[in-house]
Amino acid sequence: MNIVILAAGQGKRMRSSLPKVLHPVAGQPMLAHVIAAARAACTDVANITIVVGHGAAVVQEAFPEAQGLHFVLQEPQLGTGHAVMQAVPHLDDASPTLVLYGDVPLITAGTLRQLLAAAGRDVGVLTVRLADPTGYGRVVRDEHGDVVRIVEQKDASPAEQAIDEVNTGIVVVPTAQLKAWLKTLSNDNAQGEYYLTDVIARAVHDGVRVIGVDSAEIDETLGVNSKEQLAVVERIAQRRVAAALMDAGVTLADPARIDVRGELVTGTDVFIDVGCVFEGRVVLGDGVRVGAYCVLRNCSFGAATELLPFTYVEDSSVGAGARLGPFSRLRPGNRLDDAVHVGNFVEIKASTIGRGSKANHLSYVGDATVGCDVNIGAGTITANYDGANKHPTVIGDGASIGSNAVLVAPVSIGAGATIGGGSTIAKDAPEGKLTVARARQVTLDKWQRPVKQKKG
């Protein structure tokens, strides 16, 4: 199977410097969704040719490691037929050609398989019926139900404009014949463009049957030409994700208030509250509970871990039975073991924290290795940055760090050590002992508080 994806449009109504097909839906460029659907629908894809134009270099850079993709430039843009002409050198005559659009991101593999099966060795056209077909090419069928031509809005007669079945632009055509028909296209029309739809008339003229497959899912055929349409498509995509999660057993407090912008892998009995955002690949183990308005990016959580509201986790792994939040932040590079507690307004970065350790309040732990069953008191920070370089802090098993302590890295706190509250520790503290480093408390008996002087 040859796949051609048209992605050359400028998308002026998007009001953006980003090429239209790279605008994200559910965390992935629209074009990526179309590529994935094509590959899932066709197990024998010979190649995928992507026709680019405006922002061509940017589009190619967005897929640097994609296998089996060929990019061809359409310059200038003279219509859909002209776009497919640019792909001709990459098309294998022995396989049919499926034409898709990079700004129609909701198309599914199932619908494409239905189209391919119905077309067989003939021409297949995916159509849809709209209550208001204004602006779309109308599908004209004969008395047998076969498609005889597709008429663009500007070229349609009043009778043809009354037809509610429209062309989605998605077609499958025998390749050798497609190449021949493309050579006969003319731009003698209201827009001065070469229409791919004119291939349908050529097929009918040559006695090739054109099968119209009416899509039951209007949403799958929606194109995106504006930010408003992008928002509509995004909500549809998120509804699909929410439905799939619930089918898998996830409890969603409100399916309309979840955003998955990547891959969300869930175990059994997972609960997700409202307003949560999942980006990249996120794994939630059995029984994980995610509180309201959490943002999770490229991270994993073991069974029965609880995330209280407004927790932010990025590029980190958390074990089972842990508790994070509310208002906790895990920056990239953390590995938290089972039963770790990270409380409100605690920030952790590039650190390993052992089983059962706790940092419950207002602390910063960075570039640290924390053992098991460590208690980090409120207001504690690891001073890991000297203005030029980062330095490590090591805290042994069972250590207790008093409130408002500053651990000046590089520094090591021995197992079972206790650090007195308010201490600034700049040297290693030994195992099993109390270490205090703070100024001696002094009371000045004769000191008097200043009195505010009255103005003139």
> Which residues are catalytic, by number?
361
Three-state DSSP at 84 gives helix
**Within a 10 A sphere around the Cβ of 135, how many other Cβ atoms?**
10
* CA–CA separation, 236 and 5 (whole Å): 22
Q: Provide the pairing of β-strand 47-52 with 138-141.
A: unpaired
b/e map of 417-439 (b: 16 or more CB within 10 Å)?
bbbbbbbebeeebeeeeebebee
Amino acid at 220: E
Q: How far is CA 11 from CA 5, 21, 226, 236, 267, in A?
A: 16, 9, 8, 21, 40
337 contacts: CB under 8 Å, gap ≥ 6: 319, 353, 354, 355, 356, 357, 372
> Which letter does DSSP use for residue 58 in this model?
H
- Give the CA count within 13 Å in the CB-facing half-sphere of 283: 12
Three-state DSSP at 34 gives helix
Q: What is the largest CA-CA distance in the chain?
A: 111
On whether the CB atoms of residues 4 and 51 are closer than 8 A, the answer is: yes
* CA–CA separation, 283 and 245 (whole Å): 13
Strands of the 358-361 sheet, one edge to the other: 251-252, 271-272, 289-290, 306-307, 323-324, 341-344, 358-361, 375-376, 400-401, 418-419, 434-435
E strand or H helix at 238, and its extent? helix 227-247
Tokens of 430: 């030994």
Crossing angle of the two packed helices 109-119 and 30-41, in degrees rounded to 10: 50
* CA–CA separation, 275 and 310 (whole Å): 10
**Within a 10 A sphere around the Cβ of 121, how many other Cβ atoms?**
8
